[in-house]
Structure 1
Amino acid sequence: MHVVNVILAGGASRRFGEPKASHVYQGKPLYEHVKEQLLEGQTVIISHPSLLPFFKARGEQNVWLDDEEVRGCGPLAGMYTAMKKQEAEWYLVTACDMPFIRKRTAEIILSYCTEHTDAVIPLVHGRLQPLFALYHRRCLPFVHACLKENQLAIQDLLRKLQVRIVSEEELNVTSNEFCNINKRSDLPENGMI
């Protein structure tokens, strides 16, 4: 099964006050905490324009801006760009601001991928987690349709797909694993929430 990891780092990080992907936490940028926990294989980064020099300076090879046609349209634009530019069967799509995710969780999510499933989405703390989830390549036309129709919420996309929801019990998640870092106070000093 050919999987490409996609780190979404194209947001403006307004609440955080600086680009989250490059914020150093416990000795390394947030995006590196995420990257270390992804599946084996290639990783692509969908970047905010201001972060291109940062990623290049860190030796990242596959860093792209959102496709011009959909630039500024949020996570769906990043998914569309990755799927359009990089051939794969499955895409592990993740936000750059989830430094506590674990490779083991990604591997369990991958185990639920089947030929009849378009997306595998965790359900944690009563909420779907579409930004640490797997999407099949056949989602690309649905992502594109959502973008063309200005339906930019990932929930709009999920309504069009065959989705396998995986519970936190099935994933055996840690208490803080799916915490998004939206403001500096979300980052505890010792790495635990």
Structure 2
Amino acid sequence: MKEIVGIVLAGGQSRRFGEPKAFAKRDGKEFILYSVEALQHVVEEIVVVTRPEFMEHLPVMEHVSFIEDLKKYKGKGPLAGLFSAMSQCEAKWYIVLPCDTPFMNARMIKALQSHQNERWEAIVPRVNGQIQPLIAMYHDRVKGKIQSMLEKNELSMHRFLSVCHVNYVDLMDERAFVNINTKEEYERFIG
């Protein structure tokens, strides 16, 4: 069993953005690469959870595995992606990032990781009072809780956190946590 595995969630519908956000670019580089690079020197392995139709279009990345949601939970959002990665790659801790945070960096990941402690099941950043459950660390102990929620079709990340022992960590670098959901946000932050 590995100590820490990184998970990048890149299988969303991107309805508000109008095209897959993983392939959007900042400074000529796909968004997904920023997430992978932020994790690269912190984790032992990186797993990208994506849709099969995206796989052939993703940039080639060394030491990165590509998987899709387990068939049983396909289309059930971030919890399905998290559970699918946890099921296919055993580790004590998982650091999850979405593919649409092109300002995320290793410094933020290490700041989060500095709060790693066995008494917690989740370490979740709070930025300006907003919790960030998709940019967080999860202990392997939450796997059963996620599966139970998926079985009941309870797909809310906030509901999931309500059943976990969570350490909410206040982090100040707002820019690192900017996620791009719409073309308007893309224009405002990246132009």
Q: Normalising to structure 2: TM-score of the pair?
A: 0.92
Task: Tell me the amino acid that sits aligned with residue 146 of structure 2.
Answer: V
Inter-partner Cα distance in structure 2 for 1:8 and 1:190: 21
* Further displaced range: 86-95 or 177-186: 177-186
Counterpart selection for 1:65 from 33, 47, 68: 68
Query: 8 Å contact 1:146–1:156 — kept in the other structure?
Result: no
**1:178 corresponds to 2:177:** yes
**How far has the Cα of 1:177 moved from its partner?**
1.5
Matches within 5 A, 1:25-36: 25-36=26-37
Inter-partner Cα distance in structure 2 for 1:151 and 1:48: 21
Inter-partner Cα distance in structure 2 for 1:9 and 1:96: 5
What SS is found at the alignment partner of 1:62? strand
Inter-partner Cα distance in structure 1 for 2:183 and 2:45: 30
Query: 8 Å contact 1:5–1:44 — kept in the other structure?
Result: yes
Task: Report the equivalent of 2:104.
Answer: 101
Matches within 5 A, 1:140-151: 140-151=143-154
Inter-partner Cα distance in structure 1 for 2:35 and 2:187: 16
How far does the alpha carbon of each residue in 1:15-66 deviate from its partner, in whole angstroms, 9 at most, with x for none? 11111101222111110011111123211000022201113x6256511110
Give the aligned length: 187
Inter-partner Cα distance in structure 2 for 1:20 and 1:45: 14
Task: Report the equivalent of 1:86.
Answer: 89
What SS is found at the alignment partner of 1:66? coil
Query: 8 Å contact 2:34–2:105 — kept in the other structure?
Result: no
User: What's the % identity of the aligned pairs?
Assistant: 34
What SS is found at the alignment partner of 2:149? helix
How far does the alpha carbon of each residue in 1:129-170 deviate from its partner, in whole angstroms, 9 at most, with x for none? 0111000001100000110111101111111111000012xx
Task: Report the equivalent of 1:23.
Answer: 24
Matches within 5 A, 1:6-17: 6-17=7-18
What SS is found at the alignment partner of 1:187? helix
Q: Which runs of 5+ in 1 are unaligned?
A: none
Query: 8 Å contact 2:108–2:176 — kept in the other structure?
Result: no
Alignment CA distance shift 1:105-1:116 (3 Å): same
**How far has the Cα of 1:188 moved from its partner?**
4.4
**How far has the Cα of 1:102 moved from its partner?**
1.9
CA RMSD of aligned residues (A): 1.8
What SS is found at the alignment partner of 2:123? strand
Q: Which runs of 5+ in 2 are unaligned?
A: none
What SS is found at the alignment partner of 1:135? strand
**How far has the Cα of 1:11 moved from its partner?**
0.4
Query: 8 Å contact 1:12–1:48 — kept in the other structure?
Result: no
Inter-partner Cα distance in structure 1 for 2:93 and 2:78: 17
**1:112 corresponds to 2:115:** yes
Query: 8 Å contact 2:127–2:170 — kept in the other structure?
Result: yes
Task: Tell me the amino acid that sits aligned with residue 26 of structure 1.
Answer: D
